[in-house]
A = this chain, B = another copy of it.
Amino acid sequence: MADSELPTRPKPEETGAPAAEGDSKSASKNAAKKAAKEKAKAEKAAARAAQEKAQAAAQEANDTAKHLYGKLPESDDVNPTTRFSDFTDEEKEVTVVARVDNARVQSAKLAFLMLRQQGQKIQAVIAAAEPISRQMIKFTGGLNVNSIVQVTGLIKKPEIPISSATIQHLEIHIRKVYMISEAAQMLPMQVKDAERPPPVETADDAPQVDSEGAPIVTLKTRLDNRVLDLQTETSQAITWISSGVAQLFSEYMIKSGSRWIFTPKLVGAATEGGSNVFEVKYFKRTGYLAQSPQLYKQMCIAGDMENVFEIAPVFRAEDSNTHRHLTEFAGLDFEKTFDHHYHEVLEFAEDLLVFILSQLKERYAAQIATIQKSYPKAGDFKLPKNGKALRLNYMDGVALLKEAGVDMSEQERFENDFSTAMEKQLGQIIRDKYDTDFYVLDKFPMAVRPFYTKADPSDARFSNSYDFFMRGEEIMSGAQRINDIAELEESMRSKGMDPTQEGFEDYLNAFRQGCPPHAGGGLGMNRIVMFFLGLPNVRLASLFPRDPQRLRP
């Protein structure tokens, strides 16, 4: 089925909605002729329908299997259903609830279903033999794809493995099949077509079918029909990885004695750069959506909370239409006091990432293997063998790039950051040299960091700040923060900001009232998932992605 097909809607007479009104200006001399033709057609259709109904009634009277299929009967039968994953080789009767991935009538006496549960597929077969009737076979083989059915049957070993199924060494011999939720006959795309990865090329004149004649489903079509797309085995696995990243982050933070915080997303001022912030109508005022919990998590530290973390949406009104930008993403933030040196917090964060990434490999090996079938290109994610993160200084990165022929001028080194291309190249250099896809760069130039960043006390051109990288792309930015009010106000002025401007008073007061030294960082959950799995687009790592063009579904 092509991408452009729209989902079928119920006809007006089915929904009770008024039929669309005809265009009153288009009365034509052909109208009468047309009407007569239509009438004849309708009569013919009615006659055919009546005949079919009569045949059906006659058949039903003879149907030995009437009670074994059709609409799910109301009953007190509350036998538990079994999941595919719990099937064993033992030949026994089971009841399953599953999607119809495919339905096919082989003959009047034989039909096949491919059943699907969270992307896992198993074959079910129905053959005419007392009490199973031909009518029941026709019903089963004619089920609309994607409908949800309850099937009772016998698990058996097939004579030859079912190569198109996920569970190849078992099949279900159907005894009962009931409809739980019927899907429309026409779907905007087939789940099985979305199992193949989307083409990189998405131009309007891109091919519609692949070399084997199978429809090519573009990323846009998938995302427009995300509910169907989520049903694929690959999407099921990706959403498990996302869930895992959030779970592992919270696990590590809670174990460290951190407190889970919920800071406001509705804020009174655009304190982190005015242009990339979403404006909200807040009763009779203007509010904004927080671009990060930065100022608030620091205020929690000033409020003596010592070690805090947050898992919450982050909003960026940035008009970036790239493979790795979203306007809303899940932020994993933390902030922590330290005793003597910000490297105490940096090491904590490095261990956090090593924990998350290594535990993902351990706990989600099956999901990772599934995803690699569709996206094999990037290969296994490499972690440092000694279990500790590789940490280099920014200037080490500059030197590594120089060795590879990419030289930054003196000015570029201190006033710019690496370009995206440079970052990727550096990622490759580091992979080749240190055999890791995860690493940390410390001591970024002060000029490229936000006003609240602590300058390096030994060289003010640099700062006590760090970025974390996966496969050469940034997933976290963090730093020691200035905790002295005079230093903070001075830093604002040096960045051209006015400390007395509206919206900063509460933040600055937190430092006037005393604040301990602290550092922290903010991770992008979707990017961690994307780069860990080597997905070509961050939208594949978001349930319902948001970008400048997309605000639905």
> In the complex, A515 Cα to B148 Cα: how many Å?
7
Which of A45-53, A303-311, A440-448 binds B? A303-311
Cα A484 to Cα B250 in complex, Å, equals: 37
> Which residues of chain A from 62 to 104 have any CB-CB distance to chain B below 8 Å in the complex?
78, 80-81, 97, 99
Q: Which residues 88-129 of A have a CB within 8 angstroms of B? A: 97, 99, 117-119
Tell me the smallest distance from the CB of A75 to a CB of chain B, in Å. 9
A183 near B512 with CB under 8 A, answer yes
A383 to chain B, nearest CB (A): 23
A315 CB contacts on chain B under 8 angstroms: 265-266
> Are A339 and B513 closer than 8 Å at their CB atoms?
no
* A461-495 interface bits toward B, Cβ cutoff 8 Å, 1 = contact, 0 = none: 00000000000000000000001111001100100
CB-based contact B183/A514 at 8 Å: yes
CA distance A5 to B405 in the complex (A): 61
Q: Give A258-289 as 1s and 0s: 1 = Cβ < 8 Å from B's Cβ atoms.
A: 01111111111000000000111111010101
Bound: A489/B14 CA distance, A: 11
**Interchain CB contact under 8 A, B543 and A263:** yes
Residues from chain B with a CB closer than 8 A to the CB of A187 are 513
Contact indicator A303/B226 (Cβ below 8 Å): yes
Complex: A552 Cα to B330 Cα, angstroms = 23
Given contacts A239-B261, A305-B239, A340-B78, contact A514 B118 (CB under 8 A): no
Is the beta-carbon distance between B261 and A243 smaller than 8 angstroms?
Answer: yes
Return chain B residues, CB-CB under 8 Å to A147: 514
The yes or no answer to A407 lying at the interface (CB within 8 A) is no
A395 at interface (Cβ–Cβ under 8 A)? no
CB within 8 Å of B: which A1-59 residues: 7-10, 14-17
Contact A281 B282 (CB under 8 A): no
Q: Considering only CB atoms, which chain B residue lies closest to A502 in the complex? A: B552
Whether A327 is near chain B, meaning CB under 8 Å from some CB there, is: yes
Residue of B nearest to A303 (CB): B230
Within the assembled complex, what's the spacing in Å between the Cα atoms of A510 and B188? 11
Q: Is A412 an interface residue (CB 8 A)?
A: no
Does A456 touch B at the CB level, under 8 Å? no
State whether A180 touches B516 (Cβ < 8 A).
yes
Counting CB contacts under 8 A, is A214 at the interface?
Answer: no
Contact (Cβ within 8 A) A278 B280? yes
B328:A544 contact, CB within 8 angstroms:
no
- Min Cβ gap A5→B in Å is 12
B residues less than 8 Å from A267 (CB atoms): 551-552
Bound: A10/B487 CA distance, A: 12
Of the candidates A148, A260, A516, the one having the most CB atoms from chain B within 10 angstroms of its own CB is A260
Q: Are A304 and B236 in contact (CB under 8 A)?
A: yes
Within the assembled complex, what's the spacing in Å between the Cα atoms of A181 and B510?
11
A490 proximity list for chain B (CB < 8 A): 16
**Size class of the contact patch on chain A:** 35 or more
- CB neighbours (8 Å) of A15 from chain B are 486, 489, 499
Chain A 505-549: CB-based contact to B (< 8 A → 1; otherwise 0): 011011111111100000001000000000000000011101010
Chain B: CB-nearest residue to A282: B551
With contact pairs A299-B227, A328-B266 given, residues A259 and B282 touching in the complex (Cβ less than 8 Å): no
- Are A516 and B553 in contact (CB-based, < 8 A)? no
Residues A280 and B279 in contact, CB atoms below 8 Å apart: yes
Give the contacting residue for A118; candidates B119, B268, B304; CB below 8 A: B304
Structural contact, A227 and B509, CB atoms closer than 8 A: yes
**Known contacts A239-B261, A261-B243, A553-B299, A339 near B250 by CB under 8 Å:** no
Partner of A261, one of B317, B340, B489, B543: B543
CB of A58, distance to nearest CB on chain B (Å): 28
Q: Which residues of B contact A300 (CB under 8 A)?
A: 230, 543
With A118-B304, A261-B243 known to touch, is A281 a contact of B279 (CB < 8 Å)?
A: yes
A182 within 8 A of B: yes
Q: What is the minimal beta-carbon distance from A21 to any residue of chain B, in angstroms?
A: 14
Q: Verify if A140 is at the interface (C-beta below 8 Å from B).
A: no
A421 to B498, CA, bound (A): 50
Q: Per a CB cutoff under 8 Å, which of B181, B498, B506 touches A514?
A: B181
What would 14 A/B residue contacts be, using CB atoms closer than 8 Å?
A: A10-B486, A17-B493, A184-B513, A225-B509, A226-B303, A227-B509, A231-B304, A239-B259, A242-B262, A263-B544, A278-B280, A279-B281, A299-B544, A312-B312
Given contacts A15-B489, A148-B516, A279-B280, 19 further A-B contacts (CB under 8 A): A7-B513, A9-B512, A15-B499, A17-B500, A99-B304, A146-B513, A146-B514, A226-B506, A236-B304, A242-B261, A243-B260, A263-B544, A264-B328, A264-B543, A265-B328, A283-B548, A296-B543, A296-B544, A313-B313
List the 3 shortest-distance A-B pairs measured between CB atoms, nearest first: A230-B303, A506-B553, A183-B514
